[in-house]
Amino acid sequence: MKFKNIVNLLFIFCGLLVSAQDLPEEIQQEIIRRTELEINPGISLGILLPSGETMYYNFGEINDSGKKPDSLTLYEIGSITKTFTAFLVRQHLVEYLDTSLSHFFPEVENHALENIKISELRNHTSGVPRLSNEFSPQDWSDPYNDYSKEKLLSELQTLEFIPDSLKTWSYSNFGYGILGRAMEKKTGKDFERLMGELLKKAGLKNTYLDHSVGEENIAQPTNLGLRNKFWHFNGPSRYAGALISNTHDLLNYLKFRKENNDIFKPGTIHNTIPTGIKNLGNSELNFKDGWFVMKPGRNSEILIHNGGTGGFTSFIGYNKNNQTGVVILSNSGKLNDDIGLKLMLPGFPLKKPERTIAYELADLIESGKTENLVDAYVSLKAEGFPINIVNIYWLERLNFGNENWQVSDQLSDIMVEELPEDWEVWDIKGQNYESLTMYEKAEEAYQKALELNPKKRTLKLKIERNRRKANN
């Protein structure tokens, strides 16, 4: 398992949407169960009917004071932002889709850019990794907060050449950051102008470019039942995941796309790109111009995308056959894509997520019982509690970002035990050792990570840094 390659892509069959009156009882009860268990403390759901009518349903609470969500409650929408960016490319770079990156970044002396086209970045077929090999945030619990144009430029300098024969579809946050920066350079406009113009044109009056609306006006981010950090996307990373929105605006966004995008209109979408991800229909999931495309039948197509930040998840889907759409937003790190699927296909099974061991560890941490987290993990595992190592990862990153290193170090021990051959686990272990001033052990952990991933240049820098610290 690779933590930075976690891209939870779920899919939609075509089917009958719910009536305009009520959600199906099974879905209502499942949502209530999730909110009560704090798997998803708050959930906002919006439905676009073929008539253009919109329906809204809200559950749970969005902050510690018990405030209830509504259709205007704001959430970070993460990677759904990419669908906006892809639309901007259609507006501003349509004449440059087959132009290489070297045209946009003449200051970068790296021949790898000559073999990467704008259209490839837009469709995740450039071969650019999901995150740059140079990506090393100061705070993994708010990982894009220190990102900048200068960092992206440095990453482009070291980007490796990828021949066409080795290019496959591969989801890339890094690629969309490059895409946005290329658009800025060509148009002379920054993120605020580019995205702001699109939001105005689409009539999205309560969708925001960053947290300037005030974090007190946004649902409280949570994960594993704990308060999490807001994610502050800066520099070109904003094009990959920065937008903050609500169910009301996102249903209006679907209406806008229906009117202004050919792939939303009736008829088959041609030249879709296979992703290699198996869907629930007759073939694998495809991709086209910023959207995942599901083709469950000969004459049926669904457009979907989801997103996630440290304490929020989002889902948006549009069924071309019956012209219905679904938006689901939550102030939790747990996806609710299956609910969207169920709304479009009544026979689709709900996932019924349960609290994992990480939730129990989070409770211990919150109550200050942190002396023996590894032993607690082993005991809970022996009792048969569900295991999700990704949950442990998020809990570790949150505590590490909060400089609660005595806790995050114990959690990193669990990760090493479960995934001893994952280089990122050893990198995380090294970060904890270094923060605890255990420099020799940090060097050893980073060395292990480098053995597992020899191409990661930043690991060499970490090894050298801790060697110097250990000798001082």
pLDDT by position in tens, the chain (length 472): 333 333 333 332 233 344 435 789 999 999 999 999 999 999 999 999 999 999 999 999 999 999 999 999 999 999 999 999 999 999 999 999 999 999 999 999 999 999 999 999 999 999 999 999 888 898 888 999 999 999 999 999 999 999 999 999 999 999 999 999 999 999 999 999 999 999 999 999 999 999 999 999 999 999 998 999 999 999 999 999 999 999 999 999 999 999 999 999 988 899 999 998 876 555 678 999 999 998 877 777 889 999 999 999 999 999 888 888 999 999 999 999 999 978 877 777 898 999 999 999 999 999 999 999 999 999 999 999 999 999 999 999 999 999 999 999 999 999 999 999 999 999 999 999 999 999 999 999 999 999 999 988 889 999 999 999 999 8
Pair of tokens at residue 261: 């995008």
Q: Within a 10 A sphere around the Cβ of 72, how many other Cβ atoms?
A: 15
Q: Within a 10 A sphere around the Cβ of 174, how many other Cβ atoms?
A: 24
Q: Is the pTM of this model over 0.75?
A: yes
pLDDT at 22: 78
Pair of tokens at residue 317: 């889907």
pLDDT at 322: 84
Report whether 310 contacts 394 (CB < 8 A).
yes
* Distance, CA of 385 to CA of 378 (rounded, Å): 10
Report whether 295 contacts 286 (CB < 8 A).
yes
* Distance, CA of 103 to CA of 178 (rounded, Å): 13
| Beta strand pairing call for 75-76 and 54-60 | unpaired
Q: What is the dihedral of CA 415, 139, 459, 158, to 10 degrees?
A: 130
Pair of tokens at residue 199: 């939001």
pLDDT at 280: 59
Distance between first and last Cα of the chain: 37
Q: Which residues pair with residue 56 across a beta bridge?
A: 46
* Distance, CA of 275 to CA of 328 (rounded, Å): 24
Q: Within a 10 A sphere around the Cβ of 217, how many other Cβ atoms?
A: 12
Cite the DSSP H helix spans in 158-264: 173-187, 191-202, 238-241, 247-260
Pair of tokens at residue 158: 């070291």
Report whether 94 contacts 80 (CB < 8 A).
no
Q: Which residues pair with residue 59 across a beta bridge?
A: 43
Pair of tokens at residue 347: 């026979």
Please report where in the chains the tokens 């090894």 appear, as a residue. Answer: 463
Report whether 235 contacts 148 (CB < 8 A).
yes
Among residues 116, 340, 332, 136, the alpha carbon closest in space to that of 221 is found at 332
Among residues 119, 121, 108, the alpha carbon closest in space to that of 171 is found at 121
Burial class (CB in 10 A: 0-12, 13-18, 19+), 172: buried
* Distance, CA of 291 to CA of 261 (rounded, Å): 11
Q: Coil, helix or strand for 347? A: coil
Report whether 363 contacts 385 (CB < 8 A).
no
Pair of tokens at residue 13: 């069959």
Please report where in the chains the tokens 């110097």 appear, as a residue. Answer: 468
Q: What are phi and psi of 48, to 5 degrees?
A: -100, 120
Burial class (CB in 10 A: 0-12, 13-18, 19+), 406: middle
Q: In what order do the strands lie in the sheet with 54-60?
A: 54-60, 42-48, 324-330, 313-319, 300-308, 291-297, 284-288, 273-278
Among residues 84, 131, 136, 152, the alpha carbon closest in space to that of 307 is found at 84
pLDDT at 169: 95
Round the CA-based radius of gyration of the chain to a whole number and report it.
Answer: 22
CA count, 13 A, side-chain hemisphere, 92: 25
* Distance, CA of 317 to CA of 300 (rounded, Å): 14
Q: Which residues pair with residue 316 across a beta bridge?
A: 305, 327
Q: Within a 10 A sphere around the Cβ of 322, how many other Cβ atoms?
A: 14
Report whether 167 contacts 120 (CB < 8 A).
yes
Enumerate domains of the chain plus CATH numbers.
1-353 (3.40.710.10), 357-471 (1.25.40.10)
The dihedral through the CA atoms of 457, 444, 380, 376 has a sign that is negative
Pair of tokens at residue 185: 């350079």
